[in-house]
Chain A
Amino acid sequence: MKILVCCKYVRDEAAIAVNPDRTLDMSAASWELSQYDSVALEAGMRLAAAAGDSLVEALSAGGEAVENSKMRKAVLSRGPAKLYTVRTEADGDILSAAKLLAQAYERIGGADLVICGDGSGDMYSQVLGTVLAAELGVSALNCVSALELDGGRVVATRMASGRAERYELETPAVVSVTSDICRARIPSMKDILGAGKKPVEAWSGTDFETVAPAVETVSTLAPEKAERLKKVYASDEDGLEQFVRALSDSIKGVM
Chain B
Amino acid sequence: MANKALVFVNDADAAAPLLAAACANFDRVLLATNNPSLSGADETYLYDAGATAVQAVPAVTSLIAAQRPDAVLCEAGADGKLVAGYAAAALGTSPICDATSVSFSAEGLEAARMVYGGGAVALERSAWPAVVVAAPGAFEAGGAVRTGEVHTLELSAPAGVRLLGVEEAAPEKKVNLNAAKCVVGVGRGLGSEENLPLVEELAGLMGAEIGCTRPAAEEEHWYGKERYIGVSGCMIKPAVYLALGISGQVQHMVGVNQAKTIFAVDKSDKAPIVEQADHVLIGDIKAVLPRIIELLK
Query: B110 contacts A218, CB within 8 Å?
Result: yes
1/0 per position for A157-182, CB-CB distance to B under 8 A?
Answer: 01111111111111001000001100
A156 CB to nearest B CB, Å: 9
Query: B164 contacts A155, CB within 8 Å?
Result: yes
- Asked whether any CB of chain B lies closer than 8 Å to the CB of A254, the reply is yes
Q: Which residue from A18, A119, A167, A244 sits with its C-beta under 8 Å from B164?
A: A167
Query: A127 contacts B84, CB within 8 Å?
Result: yes
B219 CB to nearest A CB, Å: 11
User: Given the complex, which residues of A lie within 8 Å of B125, measured CB to CB?
Assistant: 215-218
B216 CB to nearest A CB, Å: 15
CA distance A129 to B95 in the complex (A): 12
B282 CB to nearest A CB, Å: 6
User: Given the complex, which residues of A lie within 8 Å of B172, measured CB to CB?
Assistant: 162
Query: A217 contacts B54, CB within 8 Å?
Result: no
Interface size class of A (residues with CB under 8 A): 35 or more
User: Given the complex, which residues of A lie within 8 Å of B79, measured CB to CB?
Assistant: 160-161
User: Given the complex, which residues of A lie within 8 Å of B88, measured CB to CB?
Assistant: 94-95, 127, 131, 134
Considering the complex, give the chain A residue whose CB is closest to the CB of B206: A251
1/0 per position for B112-139, CB-CB distance to A under 8 A?
Answer: 0001111111111111000001000000
Interface core residue of B162, B165, B274, B281 (most chain A CB under 10 Å): B281
Give chain A's interface secondary structure class.
mixed
A72 CB to nearest B CB, Å: 23
Query: A130 contacts B161, CB within 8 Å?
Result: no
User: Given the complex, which residues of A lie within 8 Å of B127, measured CB to CB?
Assistant: 214
Segment touching A, from B25-33, B188-196, B253-261: B253-261
- Asked whether any CB of chain B lies closer than 8 Å to the CB of A253, the reply is yes
Query: A94 contacts B123, CB within 8 Å?
Result: no
CA distance A214 to B93 in the complex (A): 5
- Asked whether any CB of chain B lies closer than 8 Å to the CB of A189, the reply is no
Segment touching B, from A80-88, A199-207, A220-228: A220-228
CA distance A95 to B165 in the complex (A): 32
- Asked whether any CB of chain A lies closer than 8 Å to the CB of B154, the reply is no
CB within 8 Å for A125 and B54 given contacts A94-B88, A250-B261: no
Query: A168 contacts B161, CB within 8 Å?
Result: yes
Query: B279 contacts A94, CB within 8 Å?
Result: no
Segment touching A, from B15-23, B37-45, B145-153, B288-296: B288-296
| Complex A-B: 28 CB contacts under 8 Å | A13-B117, A124-B98, A131-B89, A134-B88, A134-B90, A142-B78, A142-B82, A159-B78, A161-B78, A165-B52, A168-B161, A173-B160, A214-B94, A215-B96, A215-B124, A216-B126, A217-B122, A217-B124, A218-B123, A222-B119, A223-B120, A228-B277, A229-B277, A229-B278, A230-B277, A239-B281, A244-B295, A251-B182
5 other A-B residue contacts (CB within 8 Å) besides A218-B125, A228-B262? A94-B88, A130-B82, A134-B86, A230-B275, A239-B281
